[in-house]
Homo-oligomer: A and B are copies of this chain.
Amino acid sequence: MKMIDGGVTAAKGYEAAGIAANLRKPGKLDIALVYSQVPAKVAGTFTTNVVKAAPVKRDIALVKGQECARAIVLNSGIANACTGAEGIAANEAMAEAAAEALGVPACEVLTASTGVIGMQLPVEKICAGVKLAAGEKACGPEAGLLAAKAIMTTDTIPKEAAVTFTAGGKTVTLGGMSKGSGMIHPNMATMLGVLTTDLNISKELLQEALSEDVKSSFNMISVDRDTSTNDSLVVFANGLAGNPEITEKDADYEAFVEALHAVTVALAKKMAGDGEGATKLLEVTAVHVASLEKARVLAKAVITSNLVKAAVFGNDANWGRILCAMGYSGESFDPEVVDITIESAAGRTMLVQNGMAADYSEDFATEIFKQEAVTVVVDLKEGEAQATAWGCDLTYDYVKINGDYRS
Contact = CB atoms under 8 A, between A and B. Distances in A.
A227 B228 CA distance: 24
A325 B227 CA distance: 8
A305 to B, nearest CB: 6
Contact of A335 (B82, B226, B315): B82
Interface stretch (A162-170, A210-218, A316-324): A316-324
A339 interface: no
Given A319-B118, A320-B116, A327 B399 contact: no
Given A187-B320, A187-B321, A310 B403 contact: yes
Interface residues of A, number: 66
B50 A314 contact: no
Interface string A57-74: 000000000000000000
How many chain copies does the complex carry? 2
Contacts of A79: 320
Interface stretch (A1-9, A150-158, A233-241, A354-362): A354-362
Contacts of A332: 50
Q: Considering residues A228, A329, A393, which has the most beta carbons from chain B within 10 angstroms of its beta carbon? A: A228
Contact of A228 (B304, B324, B333): B324
A313 interface: yes
Given A324-B117, A355-B84, A400 B396 contact: yes
A307 B402 contact: yes
A226 to B, nearest CB: 5
A336 interface: yes
Contacts of A186: 307, 310-311, 318
22 contacts: A50-B327, A50-B328, A50-B335, A51-B326, A51-B335, A82-B323, A82-B335, A83-B356, A117-B324, A118-B319, A187-B318, A187-B320, A224-B306, A226-B307, A226-B324, A226-B328, A227-B324, A227-B328, A229-B324, A229-B327, A311-B403, A396-B396
Q: State the 7 A-B residue pairs at the shortest beta-carbon distance, nearest first.
A: A117-B320, A51-B327, A310-B402, A314-B403, A227-B328, A49-B327, A224-B306
